[in-house]
Amino acid sequence: MVGLGLAAASHVHGYQGCPGCELIAVCDLDEQRARRFAAQHSVPLVYTSFREMLANDDILAVGITTPTFLHAPMALQALEAGKHVHCEKPFCVSVPEGLEVCEAARRSGATLAVGETYVFLSSHMKARELIEAGEIGRPVQIRERHGGWIERKQPRIDTGPADRTWRVNPVQSGGGEHPWIFDHAVHFFAAAEDLMLGQPIVEVYAVGGGRPGRTRAGATHDPYTSAEAGIPIITWKHRDESCHGVWMRAERLNGIYDYMRGFSTTILGESGVVEVLGEGGGNLFWDGRPQHLILHRDGKETCCFRFEEGGDAVWDSEISYYSQAHIRQVRHFVDCILRNEKPRYGGEDGVRAVQATLAAIRSAREQRPIRVD
């Protein structure tokens, strides 16, 4: 593993609890942090040089959880060194560099997986299963809702270095004047395409909201203090233009109130509806009781689902984004290597999410719809 911040604190449990996998090395520029992490998790080897770590022939696969601008360059180096790669999202900061990594993976025959955790949430996976089974008929509309992520009073995992200013640096985080959107919209577009059964997004229109009103800082482990140049609403069309979606943001960073907590999604079909909680999600009720997923069907009884995974390690939420979704994606990566199978979310998927996100940023800047291609 390279880059020992917040994501690594979840990924480590995925690697160490996975049959057929042994975590033998960690790498970070901060040697003291790397040694503490290695001692805490009984990892035998510590590196401060990524190139030196790649030179170790005993290492067959690399997990990349570094700042965004390092994702594609490090993935490329690892593939050229003959390693399998699991890379956190956003996969790249530009489409060409992402495609270069995908081509390197094709040449080497190595497994390349992108850490798109929203695809591996238990609640989202169940929603996808129900939609695939035809429970709501053909899905035609996605409504994503981003309310406030509320932190636990005491996180259960290490939330990473105190200095995370790279996340608001337009070069290091990607996205130019919209680092928050670049960091997060890849999640929203990935979830939308997944829950629309793989139907790609082809056109995006981001509604720029100007400067927000009264705002408050976000999570204590992040440097965001306001919604930069606000994008409160994004709409899109899928390849089948009768299928479309919308994402709406109302939380403390952009000074808008929503009683719904965290991320939630409604998928509307021709004969039913799925409502599902995602990262940090809460306040979804049916018949006076809190639920994680609700299935409504025309002419049938409503069904409710809960996913008892101990709640989240960082957010005050019963949906385990940190850490079960991260653990699940890492184990899927290892399984794909062992079985020589294609990952559920690979390099091309990661590039497409970045491309849609860049289209949204350009749309907000130019105040017009943008074709993703």
Helices (H) and strands (E) in the chain, counts: 9, 16
Give the CB-side neighbour count of residue 358, counting CA atoms within 13 A: 17
Determine the straight-line distance between the first and last CA of the chain, rounded to whole angstroms: 33
- Whole-angstrom distance, CA of residue 241 vs CA of residue 110: 35
Q: What string of DSSP letters covers 95-133?
A: HHHHHHHHHHHHHHT--EEEE-GGGG-HHHHHHHHHHHT
Q: What is the CATH number of domain 119-321+343-371?
A: 3.30.360.10
pLDDT in tens, the chain (373 residues): 999 999 999 999 999 989 999 999 999 999 999 999 999 999 999 999 999 999 999 999 999 999 999 999 999 999 999 999 999 999 999 999 999 999 999 999 999 999 999 999 999 999 999 999 999 999 999 999 999 999 999 999 999 998 889 998 988 999 998 999 999 999 999 999 999 999 999 999 999 865 556 667 778 788 887 655 579 999 999 999 899 999 999 998 888 899 999 999 999 999 999 999 999 999 999 999 999 999 999 999 999 999 999 999 999 999 999 999 999 999 999 999 999 999 999 999 999 999 999 999 999 999 999 999 9
- Per-residue b/e over 268-297, b at no fewer than 16 CB within 10 Å? bbeebbbbbbbbbbbebeeeeeebbbbbbb
Q: Which fold has domain 6-115?
A: Rossmann fold (3.40.50)
Contact 157, 10 (CB under 8 A): yes
Give residue limits of the domains in the chain. Answer: 6-115, 119-321+343-371
φ/ψ (deg, to 5) at 227: -80, 110
